Amino acid sequence: MNRIKTIALAICCAAVSTTTQAAEKPNVIYILADDLGYGDLSILGQKKLQTPNIDLLGSEGIIFTQHYSGNTVCSPSRAVLMTGQHPGNVHCRGNMRSENNTALNPAMTTLPRLFKNAGYATGAYGKWGLGVTSESGAPNPLTHGFDHYSGWKSQGIAHTYYPTSIVRDGKETPLAKGTYIHDLIMADAYQFIEQSVADKQPFFCYIPTAIPHAAMHGPKELHEKWCKVFPEFNNKIGKYGAGKGEPCPDVQNPIAGFAAMIEHLDNQVGEILALLKKLKVDDNTLIIFTSDNGTHSEGGHDPRFWNSNGDFRGIKRDVYDGGIRSPFLARWPARIKSGTTSGHISAFWDILPTMAAIIGQPIPEQADGLSMLPTLTGEASAQKQHQYLYWEFAKGEDQKIFSQAVRMGDWKAVKLKKNGKSELELYNIKNDISETKNVAKQYPKIMDRIEKIILEAHTPLPSQR
């Protein structure tokens, strides 16, 4: 009889434990800014505008000072994030004219599928960047485990905030002229969060906002406000294009436009924080804020005026740190100690294994990254370290390598094609954060090791074989 009671008690305890674990699954919101430089946030040094709500994610959580994007341009960086593959293994190494060539492999367990397998509600809101989102049967966000998607039809159309249509769950719907699509997308994201909480289902909300990419289209009232702050630029006109038939209005005073965009996004991060508190899920919601690559100089944006890349050399399309070092702020009151800073060297391909560890899922076979969970939760002594990080950036449809980079401890190597020849540069990031002193000739053994890493890390694409 006692044995029967013991077995029954064990079964009951196991059931309670399982229920408790399910109830404790954290919600995850991953906000991916587009072309936001490391120096564009006031918590990381921006002086000409303030980002108080985004800053809260760092001041009430953790700041990673050495986090890197998946690439130096949009599509391959997002491909790395979704697959967990590093830039030398992922299928996409540069932006491509034929956007469906960037589509993910549906057979892979990508980031949203990982959450779906764990019983999460999943939603994506913004710029997908990995193929056309509205084609029936074609790879799109819904193919890879997202329950919902709201955003642009394609990456090219996402160059404007006033497109002719919006895609919701695969269906393209016309928009009235002058509709600012960003706010529709964010409203859908808020609704998804509210509905998931109402359904008592943990959620993964991916917000790849287009801000502050391309055309400097900010909300009218905020734009006018910043025109008064920076009237000396009122005669400057910012121009950009978004493809045939898609309106992409010129911007008078793109300096003001950039400020308006950043303030608007910051306000919306504040709205998300307020919503989580209202819904009483704030404590167990992990919010991550980062950027897909470094700052840009398009659409009239002036990264020098804003010091958008901070102390780093280079911008978007460069593999110097200004093109690939990303801001990374993470807030999770239940698990992350407030006011933490970490110099742990990490990258986009670490996100997939990190999420697998958080939600109790196996790491997909294709993933190259290492879980950052020990560092996030204050157990740095248990954190595994990368032997190196590797990037390659390709231009054109043939995806031939244009530039490569390696980060190995305090060493950073950059290999560029110049006049048909490849030249390898070497910098000591600890002593030379701006990568200004090429010390390649002084350290031949380091150079030999890095040359071997470049050969080891690069997997040729079919077009390169």
CATH 3.40.720.10 fits 24-386, yes or no: yes
Run means of pLDDT, 10 residues per run, the chain, 465 residues? 40 37 79 98 98 98 98 97 97 83 91 98 97 82 96 95 97 97 98 98 98 96 98 98 94 98 98 98 98 97 97 97 98 98 98 98 97 97 98 78 94 88 93 98 97 96 65
Q: What is the model's pLDDT at position 418?
A: 74
Compute the distance between CA of residue 340 and CA of residue 9 in angstroms, rounded to an integer: 41
Q: Label the pairing between strands 389-395 and 346-347.
A: unpaired
Helix axes 254-278, 220-229, angle to 10 degrees: 130
Q: What is the model's pLDDT at position 21?
A: 39
Residue 40: in which H helix or E strand, if any? none
CA separation, residue 227 to residues 52, 176, 188, 224, 265 (Å): 21, 26, 30, 5, 18
Compute the distance between CA of residue 206 and CA of residue 154 in angstroms, rounded to an integer: 17
Compute the distance between CA of residue 362 and CA of residue 312 in angstroms, rounded to an integer: 36
Q: What is the model's pLDDT at position 397?
A: 58
| Domain ranges within the chain, ordered by starting residue | 24-386, 390-464
Q: What would be the CATH architecture of the domain defined by 390-464?
A: 2-Layer Sandwich (3.30)
Are 24-386 and 390-464 in the same CATH fold? no
Q: Which tokens hold the place of 427?
A: 């910098």
Compute the distance between CA of residue 24 and CA of residue 27 in angstroms, rounded to an integer: 9
pLDDT, tens digit (0-9, with 9 covering 90-100), for 392-445: 998 765 667 789 999 999 999 999 987 778 889 999 999 999 999 999 999 999
Q: What is the model's pLDDT at position 24?
A: 82
pLDDT, tens digit (0-9, with 9 covering 90-100), for 349-389: 999 999 999 999 999 999 999 999 999 999 999 999 999 99
